[in-house]
Amino acid sequence: MKRRKLISVLLTATMMATMFAGCGSDAASTDAEGKADSADSTEAGGVKEFTAFFAVPGSEINDDNEIQQIIADKTGGYETTMFRFPGGSSNTVSRFNPGIMTRLTQDATARGLQYYDWNVSSGDAGETTSTDQVYQNVIDGCSSHNVSIVLQHDIKGFSVAAVERIIQWGLANGYTFLPLTPTSPKAHHGINN
């Protein structure tokens, strides 16, 4: 399992990370070992909603409630106010529902939730399938920001394979790796819908 490999790398480096979970098979399939690893070694992080919730008004609230329950079940009761939108708050897949991202970001804030975007992309969401390119994308991106929030997916083996090198590079160059918390600096995209 790719997540186990990532957790192993993080444990070896004594690092924590924020993992955003999505509703469906990814969140629901975490087994007991994944539960223990997530609760002990990583920041359980937050929620990454699925694109489907853009279609039906109010469905994002049901998805949020569902994933909050999954996170609590898998982490022994951990509750989070942090989440990320699929494709970020700037996504354009939601354009079939005009204004939905504006409404969702406003609703999230009104409900006391915090959404996170990123300012560094690993490119593993379709730009590349190369471990070397993921590594290069992350170090180039981090080099251009004082605070970096990296988008990197734990379900992509080629991307997980780059993590150890990224950590080594970061530590050798004076970087500090921290999980996101509700008080972390935010990286918000411009809302396109």
DSSP letter (8 states) at residue 191: P
- Which residue stretches of the chain have pLDDT < 70? 22-65
Interhelix angle 59-75/32-41, nearest 10 degrees: 90
Q: What pLDDT score does 151 carry?
A: 94
E strand or H helix that includes residue 103: helix 100-110
Residue pair 60/53 in contact (Cβ under 8 Å)? The answer is: yes
Q: What pLDDT score does 73 carry?
A: 81
Q: What pLDDT score does 166 carry?
A: 97
SS3 state at 21: strand
Q: What pLDDT score does 31 carry?
A: 37
State whether the Cα torsion 139-158-92-70 is positive or negative: negative
The predicted model scores a pTM of: 0.78
- Please classify residue 97 by burial: count the beta carbons closer than 10 Å to its beta carbon, then call 0-12 exposed, 13-18 middle and 19+ buried: middle
